[in-house]
Copies of this chain bind each other. A is one copy, B any other.
Amino acid sequence: MAERLTIALDAMGGDNAPRSVLRGANIARKRFPNVDFLLVGDEAKLAPMLKRMPKLKRAVTLVHAPDKVGADDKAAQALRSGRNSSMRIAIDQVREGKAQGLVSAGNTGALMAMSKVFLRTLPGIDRPAMASFFPTMKGESVMLDLGANIECTAENLVQFAVMGELFARMVLGSLKPTVGLLNVGSEEQKGHEELRQAAAILREGRHPLDFRGFIEGDDIAKGTVDVVVADGFSGNVALKTAEGTARLVADFLRQTFKSSILAMIGYAFARHALRKLRARLDPRRYNGAVFLGVNGIVVKSHGGSDALGFATAVGVAVDMIQYGFIESMKREFEKSAGTPLVPPPSEAPAPAQAPPKQAAAG
């Protein structure tokens, strides 16, 4: 029988909280009967709702938090004055060992800042990164950073590569995941200086990674590599552009099936198969971004996600706890403790010569 786990849920975070969180927990409760939930939030609001969900009520423990972090609060503000927020108290549950992980659909910036400050980063990691799965022509890949770090040094990118590779190995089950750096061309001299430096370090082979060099935007969906490493700005743009494009094509497809009688008949025949396609592309299936590098399992559910999406994010947290992700990460970084992740500046291989920063598109 599976070991019992405890996960803290930020009941007040997200556009549809607390309703979507409670309903999400209700789905997750059935999917993961070995998980106990700490439902962190305003007792006065949550208790009456739980009264109407008796089965959920038995599976959760209410942890009172009088405040919440607003969607538009600045991270610094949340750090200063969020002491009594549901987000902060959910983090405290993990810090104090009362829960092994937490899920929040709240303010991303505040969640990242609080996780870093109160759970701290793992030894060897300067900055945590947000990582998530996405579907590709070959299966699934991982991309990071998705927006936690707008500006990244070469060192940050190298650390992302190492963390992302471990994540893919554990959660995707790839034995030897391939890793690529998102750039605007595959040639060595392309892109920002930090990218070229990071590539030089990764090519040097200090880290036992299967590094495949630079990839471009269209390689993401192709599944050219298992782990796409990007600075938080590009990663965020790529992720959201992909979501928007998938929605556009789905929208065009809907219009297509309404465009003629024959098309409508066609739809009727293919309906079952098309429903499976819709499920395959459902963004809720890929909900749940992980904060890699934090000393604790923190999963961010999309702010606008519904109950089903929230339950998926809970599933990601369950997976990571069961795989012993934090312990593996620590082991991984201890192993390489003798050889620092990033060589000191004097030893660093010279990056490929900087050409005029021009002319990227192929």
Contacts and interface: CB of A to CB of B under 8 A. Distances in A.
A278 to B, nearest CB: 9
Contacts of A274: 256, 263, 266
Nearest to A277: B256
A248 B362 contact: no
30 contacts: A75-B359, A112-B359, A146-B361, A147-B359, A148-B358, A148-B359, A148-B361, A150-B357, A150-B358, A182-B237, A184-B236, A217-B236, A217-B238, A217-B239, A217-B241, A218-B244, A218-B247, A220-B241, A220-B245, A221-B247, A245-B245, A245-B246, A246-B248, A249-B249, A252-B281, A256-B270, A256-B274, A257-B273, A263-B272, A266-B270
B273 A260 contact: yes
A192 interface: yes
Given A74-B189, A150-B360, A221 B241 contact: yes
Contacts of A217: 236-244
Contact of A246 (B147, B191, B249): B249
A317 B112 CA distance: 48
Interface string A209-243: 00000001111111000000010111011111111
A259 interface: yes
Nearest to A72: B187
Contact of A76 (B149, B151, B355): B355
B74 A150 contact: no
A150 B266 contact: no
Interface string A9-24: 0000000000000000
A135 B248 contact: yes
Could you say which interface size class chain A belongs to? 35 or more
A118 interface: no
B271 A266 contact: yes
A265 interface: yes
Given A148-B361, A184-B150, A191 B248 contact: no
Contact of A151 (B109, B253, B357): B357
